[in-house]
Amino acid sequence: MQKIGFVIPWYGENIPGGAEMELREVATHLQKAGMEVEILTTCVKDFNADWNVNYYAAGTAIVDDIVVRRFPVRRRDTAAFDRVNRKLMQGQRLSLQEEQTFVEEMVNSPQLYEYMLDSSDDYSLYVFIPYMFGTTYFGMQICPEKSVLIPCFHDEAYLYLRLFRQAYIQARGMIYNAMPEMELAGRVYDFSSTEQICMGIGMDTDLHPDAEAFRKAYHIEKSFLLYAGRKDTGKNVHTLLRYFAEFKRRQPSDLQLVLIGGGQIEIPVSVQDDVYDLGFVTAQDKYNAMAAAELLCQPSHNESFSLVIMESWLCGRPVLVHAKCAVTRDFARRSNGGLYFKDYFEFEGCVQYLLSHPEAAKTMGENGGQFVRENFDWDVIVEKYKTFFQKLTEE
């Protein structure tokens, strides 16, 4: 098998979470397993940067022993993009011309596409991630017979763009992070002639959490619920805070809530003394916190995988997820590693059950840990990738 070229809008060592981290981990582990991989990307720094600015120098660099080829971005009409993107976010349908504006004024690099076309014989496959960026839309049309997409689909406005549906059904292969994502794709796109696999995301399963070390380091002795992730409305953390305040009002107790991760969010006045916002912590402190918690709550409605619930299970603790998130709800069901809620009263019932049934909570955490090790250990995921890529190239 020749090289595998992974195509992503931006790439860097320090981009946390999301598709960027997923690709970085996949590429690193495949290379260690003996496959030749390269990253093909633009010179943009990251998602939050100005997409007109070439932060990195164009050319080839070695990042963590992997070849990274960076290409300049084409200057975009930001105002035109913002105009049509705003309509999408407001639930309005775009005309085909507006859809064309959306993809053309996204992150794009004609020099990247030219390189892919000229060098296609050097690569067995081009693997694109995620689905909604110009580098994916235009890049996949260069060699559709060699194109594999890791879409990271959510049920959102971008998913239904007609241009995406026309282009992506030509893909050679599709790789999904979870079964609900694969089922969603089947309802919106016709992938009947495309090879598909539900892969999941690889995990380092050899964690060594220390609950007592966390309690000593942060002076938190009482029982607590844990949230780990960005603290913004997109992650639905405000609902968790509101429900926690209501729980404390209706069920007076010493229970506390610990928040880990970036961002800021307003804490309800009634529970300010019971909420610890620790901000960013080390990975080891995160694992220690998970082991010390009664449970991890992941209230987000839109997750394509959720590493933190997998980590909580590897630390032996159950999870509580939102019923509106098909992915995390499916993981909780299939693993028997947690519960899910759709409103406050279900939240209250789930928390009360887990607090009053410590053996059941312990068993759920153990079930989840076994589920992760059997399905998402890196040895398992790497073998799945190698087998799938071999199937696509041999056929």
- pLDDT (tens, 9 = 90+) of the chain, 395 residues, equals 789 999 999 998 777 667 888 899 999 999 999 999 999 999 999 988 999 999 999 999 999 899 999 999 999 999 999 999 999 999 999 999 999 999 999 999 999 999 999 999 999 999 999 999 999 999 999 999 999 999 999 889 999 999 999 999 999 999 999 999 999 999 999 999 999 999 999 999 999 999 999 999 999 999 999 999 989 888 999 999 999 999 999 999 999 999 999 888 999 999 999 999 999 999 999 999 999 999 999 999 988 889 999 999 999 999 999 999 999 999 999 999 999 999 999 999 999 999 999 999 999 999 999 999 999 999 999 999 999 999 999 85
Domain boundaries, the chain: 3-202+377-394, 211-375
Same fold? 3-202+377-394, 211-375: yes
Strands 319-322 vs 295-298: parallel, antiparallel or unpaired = parallel
pTM of the predicted model as reported, rounded to 2 decimal places: 0.88
Q: Are 221 and 215 in contact (CB under 8 A)?
A: yes
**Per-residue model confidence (pLDDT) at position 395:** 57
Separation CA 387–CA 30 (nearest Å): 12
Separation CA 234–CA 47 (nearest Å): 16
Separation CA 100–CA 96 (nearest Å): 6
- For residue 377, give the DSSP letter: B
Cα distance from N-terminal residue to C-terminal residue, the chain: 12
Runs of H (alpha helix) within the chain: 18-32, 78-89, 96-104, 110-118, 134-139, 162-168, 179-188, 211-218, 237-250, 283-292, 307-314, 326-335, 344-356, 358-376, 378-394
**Per-residue model confidence (pLDDT) at position 127:** 98
The residue written with tokens 């804490």 in the block is: 267
**Per-residue model confidence (pLDDT) at position 17:** 66
**Per-residue model confidence (pLDDT) at position 16:** 66
3-202+377-394 folds as Rossmann fold (3.40.50)
Give the three-class secondary structure for 8.
Answer: coil
Per-residue b/e over 146-183, b at no fewer than 16 CB within 10 Å?
Answer: bbbbbbbbbeebbbebeebeebbeebbbbbbbbebbbe
Longest Cα–Cα distance of the chain, Å, equals 67
Burial (0-12, 13-18, 19+ Cβ within 10 Å), 118: exposed
**Which sign, positive or negative, has the C-alpha torsion 68, 45, 306, 182?**
negative
The residues that bridge with 59 in the sheet, in sequence order, are 70
| Architecture of the CATH domain 211-375 | 3-Layer(aba) Sandwich (3.40)
